Amino acid sequence: MPLPENSQIVRLTPDYTFKRFNCGDSDLNEFLLEDSISYLRKLLAVTNIIENNDQIIAFFSLLNDKITIDDTPSKNQWKKLFKKTTGKSFKSHPAMKIGRLGVDVNYQSSGIGTIILDYLKNLFIDNNRTGCRFITVDAYRESLAFYQRNDFQFMTSEDENADTRLMYFDLYTLSDDN
């Protein structure tokens, strides 16, 4: 599925001029419009924007992460999840975290979110510059089904009643070596 007509992905820069955007979530709107440049300057997250001439269609912020043995409820679950995939007993695995992802209300339910996730999956398979095995996200409760449809899995059941749940996608499942 391609991006909407006449749209492009741009990497946020300190001098970016924001266009109109409203995803219906004040926390996500505030992050993009008020905090994303500060996160960029402090080297905490890189934000990418999908825009056309008139507005911001969507955005996603990325930061480094890792999945550790402490993220799972037991060593047995850790071994079950990761030893079988790596053949080694690492105490952590490199990951890229989706810190924020928002789609303007005019484009919600149009497939833009899936386009973003597919873009990220391909980016880290085809252009993996540092070694990154997993994509992680602290998914809002309202977006759990979306991430599940895009093959993300829950890290643990211990956060079942929390406002967000830690989910992951194993990039190795897309690798030619798998």
C-alpha 69/C-alpha 157 separation (Å) is 15
- The structural domain count of the chain equals 1
Q: Are 121 and 174 in contact (CB under 8 A)?
A: yes
- Mean pLDDT across 149-175: 91
User: Structural domain of residue 134, as residue ranges?
Assistant: 8-174
Q: Count CA atoms closer than 13 A to 57's CA, side-chain side.
A: 20
Q: Is the pLDDT of residue 78 over 80?
A: no
Rg of the chain on CA atoms, in Å: 17
In a domain, 2, yes or no: no
In a domain, 124, yes or no: yes
In a domain, 49, yes or no: yes
In a domain, 1, yes or no: no
In a domain, 3, yes or no: no
- Mean pLDDT across 10-26: 97
Q: Is the dihedral of CA 100, 105, 106, 109 positive or negative?
A: positive
> What percent of the chain has a predicted confidence (pLDDT) above 90?
66
pLDDT digits (tens, 9 = 90+) for 23-53: 999 999 999 999 999 999 999 999 999 999 9
Look up the pTM and report it.
0.89
Give the CATH number of the domain where residue 127 resides: 3.40.630.30
